[in-house]
Structure 1
Amino acid sequence: MASNPPAPEAPYAPAQPSTETFGYGGYRTGEGPWEEWNPTAESIRPVRGKHRVAKQRGGGFARSSTVLGVGVIAAVSAGGMASATTGKAPVSISMPDLPGVGSLISDDTPAPEAAPALASFGSETAVDTDAGAGVDQSVADAGEALRSRIMAQAESQKTQVEVKAAAAAAKAKADAVVKAEKEAEAKAAAAKKKAAEEAAAKVEAARLAELAKQYTLPTSSYTITSTFGQAGSLWSSGYHTGLDFAAPTGTLIKAVHSGTITEAGWAGAYGYRTIMTLDDGTELWFCHQSSISVSVGQKVATGDVIGRVGATGNVTGAHLHLEVHANGNAEGIDPAAWLRSKGLNP
């Protein structure tokens, strides 16, 4: 039986890196192998100061070592252990040619012209900040001025309202004082008038009391049946010209006041009539008597009997018809009012 002989062993060769490096088709001798790098706190220099952006030249490409360094630092900061044995081709990252930006990811010393660019950028920022502060201050000043003007207007309006209120209060107070004075004057005048009227009434009462002593009613036990001016067909003039005291026939008729008898006898429709003339010329007519007790020219005093009540003449019953003719007035006046003026109440 035949058997296959074992294949000869291949000579030892170190392991080759993978050919799958960023799209390249074969292994490149300049790219590895790499030693494993374990960075420590002593091997990595701390970054101090500000990162300044160096102006990039020649197309603005960052070096591959810079990208690798940034990746390693990020891995260490996260607390992991990174290995740089990949051996893959670096990837170039294009950065815009902006001043002060490349130094943020570069570990090289910035170019000499980067400082002026950064200083220029800072100065522009400072200028813009100052301009913004100036604008803010202008707005604040304008707002404060508007607020002050509004407050001044409000204060002015408040002052005007207070002045108007004070004027209205003063006017109301003055009107109240004037009204009170007028009311006081009116009350004083009314009180004075009332006092004067009361005094006059007292004087008149005293006078009438004295007159009452001098005057008397013409008869007693009577009833007033007809008054002065009363209209009716019973009287030839169409109205009553005197005051009727109805009393039984024979009731005494007395002199109302002192005077002189100027007529005594028959007078037609008046029946038996006696006329007495007072000292002031007033004539008193006593009519419809049943009898006469005095004669013409006789002086009589208050209360003297001059006749008796009867029903002679144009009558409907026994009564005394009294007429008063002041100062020779043929028409006559109201006997009731005249008697009251002498302090008598018929």
Structure 2
Amino acid sequence: MKLATIVMDGRRVGVFEYAPGKLVSLSALDLGCDSVRHFIELGDEALAAAQNYETERDEDLINAGNAEWAAVIPDPTKILCIALNNSAADSQLTYRPDFPVYFPKLPSALTGHLQAVDLYPHYGLVHPEPEVAVIIGKQARNVSIDEAMEHVFGYTIFNDITSVGMRKEDRFVAEYPIPDGKGGFTPTTEHVVYQGRYKSADGFAPMGPYIVHKKDVPDPMKLRVRCWLDDDVLMDDNTSAYHFSIPEVICWISQHATLQPGDVIPLGTALHPDEHRRPISYGNLNKFGDKVTIEIETLGRLESPIRRVDALDPRTSFASAK
């Protein structure tokens, strides 16, 4: 079972794969829904309707090769990304928490397969981050590790595009007063970085083209992940390199935030480099390359054209007044 969202007559429409290369609108199932998120909320009833659907009318079929793709779920309540969840990052870390650290990414950053990503000069160094993303199937709050997989609907491809340039800029260094237990406070130096720009600019979350149902992905922790910039291989990795498993991630997040059907959890970046041993930052999308391609075993290929836009840094209009 594969689901997607496409644009028809200027409107986003949820579809399922009826046959290889052939799509059918979810509205044809007579379930009163035409969005992927609503389909997921309906649960087993919707799955059964799609699996048992039959048509002999060619006009019901949409050619996937001609589709205009949107993000598979354009309206999740949350996108929560797992940070540095890869053994390849260990050599760069002097400390790692013993639990999954996650951060939010704005849904407005979402875009679809084959949709251009606009980059501006003041974004600085920008690189792709190829990831497997979990799609939540039913509400999860305070779930155990043993229960966690019951809350998974399926998986998709996610590109957690990141601006290193903006990350360096959006940081504060402060002496933060911490209670010393004796009625006073001890100043502690803290380095704080906020993800607003460098993770969530428009187009920084290509996702899709399909969600693949979990029954069609026998072991999501053993999937090959590859990433190209044009024809140049940047990353060749495997989800077996993840530190934290999917059940651990869902269990941990659900202790703090209620997960809803259609929520997206990218599991972490493929970091093992190509044969040239180049780091992921080598693939600076703001300098070269016309297209990023991510291929994940069983899930397919996600392609994102890169469009560099010549524009003035907006800070020039207000920085002098501060």
TM bracket (short chain): under 0.3
Q: More strand by proportion, 1 or 2? A: 2
TM-score, normalising length: structure 2: 0.18
Which structure's CA Rg is the greater one?
A: 1
TM-score, normalising length: structure 1: 0.17
Q: More helix by proportion, 1 or 2? A: 1
